[in-house]
Amino acid sequence: FDPSKTVLPEAGAKNVLITSALPYVNNVPHLGNVIGSTLSADVFARYSRVRGNNTLFICGTDEYGTATETKALEDGVTCQELCDKYHQVHKEVYEWFDLSFNHFGRTSTQKHSEIVRGIFGQCVDNGYVLEKEVPQLYCEQCCRYLADRFVEGTCPKCAYDDARGDQCDKCGTLLNAIELIDPRCKLDNNRPVVRTSMHQYIDLERLQPQCKAFAEKSSEEGKWTANSLAITNNWFKEGLEPRCITRDLKWGVPVPLPGYENKVFYVWFDACIGYPSITANYTSDWELWWKNPDNVALYQFMGKDNVPFHTIVFPSTQIATGDNWTQLHHMSACEYLNYESGKFSKSRGVGVFGNNAQDTGVPPDVWRYFLLSNRPESADSVFTWGDFVARNNNELLANVGNFCNRVIKFLDANTKYAGVLPTADPARIAAGADTSDRRLIDDVNVLLARYIEKMDGVHIKAGLRTVMEISARGNLYLQESKLDNTLFNENRIQCDTVVAVATNLIYLLSALFHPFMPATSANISRQLNAPERTVTDTFELDLLPGHVIGNADYLFTRIDEKKIDEWRAKYGGKQEEMPSQPKPKSKFKKSQSQSQSNVKPEVAN
């Protein structure tokens, strides 16, 4: 993988386009954000590359919308300054986690605005955009319509008196800001009035038959995750309605219509267009990726709350343009990763955020391994410090580290082999041979086929579990063979075979672990003095007799269990229940804990 090289689709190749949900730019990403989209996408991108596929991995920060304006006002900076700050924060976090984007861009670019306006114009020309008059809250003191997050008030469902204009954080009800009891403007605490405002709507109701046909075909061929299919089908079952795609805001892509000078496009209309626009900032030949459905397969990764925007809103928008777009092939949607006994919350100091992971001094690969082995694929999962330490000590160190170090240390320059790989006895490894060596090779080939099947189907956790089984099978092989100096002295032929086979198995593991723990993979290759390997369909002895390896080194180190309580105390914050009694009002609330709603707002907020 050479990030300096521009990757374009190739004739006759398997061209794989991978996107991670664009992280919103108003805060530091926490572990749930990382595993839910960016890290999962990185694993599949790395796997695709080691399988020899022509792969492009695109991501970037989502920078427009109400949340940016709110956070900028709260911090006393301009929206651009806020975006510049957090774009860099995100970039540094993902670099530390060793994510292999071909390009990590952003949506606040001129190219993005041009492509958004062009797509909107095509939708208008093809008759898929409606105009509606919408009642909204207007602050006469600020002289502005108030977007949802600029309004607070009492929830009409549960009477919680600090509900947001889009959702109540106590009962979870999705709200329209005008439904709030005693609404107040977050900018000056005055009571707004109801006025009407004109807005543009994309006619999803008219597009439903085409969008549903796309979803049925794509979900079957691309094998979408069960949760993404269920969420999408639920929207179709309820019936799609025209969806507002403009907002009364200043920070966003301006709407190119008379009378809309003070309006911008709704962030969930322009955000998904960020994928092609970020690609366009990567290469002027972006349409070779995004308007090439016969030769490009699109894989998208995200948390489940983002699913309908990628399976319904964006595909419908693509259909409405009339162009021959590359559309979603596989949708991989995660459930939620929670922290110890509750949710991640930056404002309450609860949970591990990207910068915190680095501060622990634990290497990125260990974090990657824990998150991926605990990936919330079909149900929510929980991060606990005890499990984190146990997986490092009992799995990485005891299984993988033990196997690799035992073999390489037995072979390296400081031993009887002087670092030179011996020759395996052909009779012991021949097909059909009744030997422990041949049984190992056959067992590994069965597991390797399962690994490829799982990873091709984007069953990432199962793929990782399979690699660990291969490593464990290697440990069993050493135990069965009784690899030690006695074997070397008394049965040199068998000892040579065990060393040759085990060393080549380690080389295979370096490739299989690469998608999950790239630094560990590279470390193994360095110790073996071998180039980084691809994942082949079968296990072969690719390192030949006479190959000279490097020096043995430890892949992992034990974490003191005393760190569990230390880290839990440091990152535990206060797991408080949502208050039910009135509390003092502040001009701006701090950011909320992660939203976990997958219901669909339809109003112009």
User: For 126-135, what is the mean pLDDT?
Assistant: 96
User: For 423-448, what is the mean pLDDT?
Assistant: 98
β-bridge partners, 194: 137
β-bridge partners, 104: 59
Which pLDDT score, from 0 to 100, does residue 163 have? 93
Q: In whole angstroms, give the CA distance from residue 155 to residue 153.
A: 6
Q: In the predicted model, is pLDDT for residue 400 greater than 80?
A: yes
CB atoms within 10 A of CB 94: 22
Tell which residue, 529, 549, 546, has the closest CA to residue 423. Answer: 546
Q: CA of 448: how far to CAs of 37, 467, 526, 535, in Å? A: 26, 8, 23, 9
Q: In whole angstroms, give the CA distance from residue 493 to residue 425.
A: 6
Q: In the predicted model, is pLDDT for residue 491 greater than 50?
A: yes
Q: In the predicted model, is pLDDT for residue 126 greater than 90?
A: yes
Confidence of residue 74 (pLDDT cuts 50, 70, 90): confident
CB atoms within 10 A of CB 75: 13
User: For 346-362, what is the mean pLDDT?
Assistant: 86
**Helices 314-321 & 204-222, crossing angle to 10 degrees?**
110
User: For 353-382, what is the mean pLDDT?
Assistant: 96
pLDDT tens string 13-72: 999 999 999 999 988 999 999 999 999 999 999 999 999 999 999 999 999 998 898 899
DSSP annotation string for 151-214: EEEE-TTT--TTEESSB-TTT--B--GGGSEEEEETTT-PPPEEEEEEEEEE-HHHHHHHHHHH
Tell me the average pLDDT of the chain.
Answer: 92
41-45, 107-111, 169-173, 214-218: least confident range: 169-173
Q: How far apart are the first and last CA of the chain?
A: 43
Q: In the predicted model, is pLDDT for residue 359 greater than 60?
A: yes
- Token code pair at residue 160: 């919680």
Which pLDDT score, from 0 to 100, does residue 584 have? 32
Tell which residue, 30, 21, 13, has the closest CA to residue 357. Answer: 30
User: For 186-199, what is the mean pLDDT?
Assistant: 93
